[in-house]
Amino acid sequence: MHAVRALSGFLIGVSMQYCPEIRHLTRSPDPMLKSILVSSDLSTRSKPAVQRGVQLAEASGAALCVLHVVEDDLLEDRMRDEIRTAEDYLTKQVEGFGKPATCDVAVATGHAFHVIAEEARAREADLIIMGAHRRQFLRDVFVGTTIERVTRTAGRPVLMANSKTGERWRKVFIATDMSETSGHAARKAQALGLLENANVTFIHGFAPITRQMMTHAGIPVERVHEEAEREFQSTRRELGRFVQDLDLGDLNYNARIIEGVGADAIAGLVEQAKPDLLVIGTRGLSGVRRLFLGSVAQELMGSVEIDVLAVPPQA
């Protein structure tokens, strides 16, 4: 297996030092995307999920299942009507987006997040696709939504589909805190064939601890800048080694180091650069240098307006 290419550039803070674009990307010889489960609640928010599921199934040859869950507290006659209506609606919707080689429409009863997780396990789904959750006025409370519960409990990658076009991803950001969890997220996205023909950029949040401490201590500005630069170069080398050790084959990529950590830093760059897909892990390092814990990944899924692939830790 070929080693991944060396880092070609970085972005720090607002210096706007963009990396050169690298366009060559080879696909994994044996993509793991063989089974896709799409969950739809029949709302307009679920339409992008169905569209994305059809697009990925047609591109990869994966088996596709589009699932709708009816709450089991309805009267029997009402439940039968709901099931029949959902089957007809989803069948027509899938046909409108394309004709995957293998596609099932399934309607089940029960609690949505539990049924989705069980169906994913039964079908050995490599990927679960869901529509964006409903955003409330001002700040949405992400915890407790169906997609949050599925992301937390299903034990497999969950793609939150926001794109209204369903076009293939051209620009992909992979957020990393250099933990094994974020490395696994990158490897999984590559293995599933989701990075094919895209411009891939690794994003790392950087908080210069030395600069903060020295500034508070009244150290001269020149010395503070020198120490911050030293710390940045150390992080730069560490990030280069981390990505090389991921062993991603012939993947060509850029890297950006942004000043700041947490969801706000990543969301700010997403708003500025407008990638098509953000790949994140659902756990990470703790302490000052962490980029995201589960709660930060959830915050990103609850705030950004692009497709987000959330990958749980490797079992």
Task: Give the span between the Cα atoms of 112 and 235, in whole angstroms.
Answer: 43
Number of domains in the chain: 1
Nearest to 20, CA basis, from 275, 255, 274, 268? 255
Chain centroid offset of residue 78 CA: 37
Tell me the pLDDT band of 189, cut-offs 50, 70 and 90.
very high
Count of positions (residues) in the chain:
315
148 in a structural domain:
no
Instruction: Tell which residue, 104, 20, 114, 4, has the closest CA to residue 62.
Output: 104
Q: How far is the C-alpha of 107 from the C-alpha of 76, rounded, in Å?
A: 15
Q: Tell me, yes or no, whether 188 lies in a domain.
A: yes
pLDDT in tens, 173-185: 999 999 899 999 9
pLDDT for position 300: 85
Phi, psi of 181 (to 5 degrees): -65, -45
Q: Is residue 224 part of a domain?
A: yes
| Average pLDDT estimate for 35-63 | 95
Q: How far apart are CA 13 and CA 265, in angstroms?
A: 10
Asked if pLDDT for residue 135 goes beyond 90, the answer is no
Question: What is the rounded distance in angstroms from the CA atom of residue 103 to the CA atom of residue 109?
Answer: 20
Q: Is residue 126 a part of any domain in this protein?
A: no
Q: Which residue has the higher pLDDT, 228 or 98?
A: 98
pLDDT reading at 22 higher than 90: no
**CATH code for the domain of 220:** 3.40.50.620
Question: What is the CB neighbour count within 10 angstroms for residue 28?
Answer: 19
Whether 12 shows a pLDDT value over 50: the answer reads no
Q: What is the largest CA-CA distance in the chain?
A: 77
- Tell me whether residue 221 is in a domain: yes
State percent of the chain over pLDDT 90.
49
Quote the domain boundaries for residue 303.
1-31+164-315
In a domain, 248, yes or no: yes
SS3 state at 118: helix
How far is residue 223 CA from its own chain's centroid?
Answer: 39
pLDDT of residue 307: 95
Strands (E), 132-259: 158-161, 171-175, 199-206, 253-259
pLDDT of residue 96: 94
- Indicate whether 216 pLDDT > 70: no
